Amino acid sequence: MKEKHAFVYDVRNELLRSFGYRTYKQYLKSDEWRALRSQVFADYSECICCDSKPQVVHHVKYDSATLLGVHRLHLAPLCHKCHELIEINVDGSKGSLAQANTMMFELARKKDPKQRWLIAFYTQRKQHKPHRRGDCSARTDAWRRKRESRQQESQPKDYSGVFWIRARRRR
């Protein structure tokens, strides 16, 4: 499960690299993210899980349309307390994105099942459902990097003479 959890973030990081950001932290410090974040705060004046003022915008999904700000459907306004509550497990480790989203939606429904953000999310999500192939190159690149890192971690194998034979056959 931890491997799948890490893979989601590898895909996110690969997408951000394709947009010109080296790290997720660099993306969060960018002017584009600040503008997008302020738009979300302008639309919603309360945390979707409690009645306090939102201070953090949680990514429900890391697809290219959300990261670029094409649509704000997968951006949820939260306060620090609720954001920490949904993302950090009891033992202090960071939970998966799916676990965080499940807990966030449960808390939001408990607060008010007919609140504006939830209604907008459920009515608009079918319109903005991305095609599987949209972020395929980022998924593929993340998968390749992960496979290469595993191969580098394993002990090197002895291929004495094999490369010379193959090179000779290719001529």
Per-residue pLDDT at 45: 92
**CB 57 within 8 Å of CB 40:** yes
pLDDT digits (tens, 9 = 90+) for 64-114: 888 888 888 899 999 999 999 999 988 888 888 989 999 999 999 999 999
| Cβ(40)–Cβ(55) below 8 Å | no
Query: Mean pLDDT, to the nearest integer, of 151-169?
Result: 54
56-59 LR contacts (CB < 8 Å, sep 24+): 56/80, 56/83, 58/83, 58/86, 58/87, 58/100, 58/104, 59/97
Q: Looking at per-residue confidence, does 23 or 148 come out higher?
A: 23
Whether the pLDDT of residue 169 is over 50: the answer is no
At 125 the pLDDT is 76
pTM, to two decimals: 0.71
**Mean pLDDT of the 39-67 span:** 93
Q: What is the pLDDT of residues 115-136, one digit of tens each?
A: 999 998 888 877 655 555 555 6
The DSSP element (H or E) to which 35 belongs, if any, is helix 31-43
When pLDDT is averaged across residues 29-35 and rounded to a whole number, the result is 93
- The helix (run of H) or strand (run of E) holding residue 56 is strand 56-59
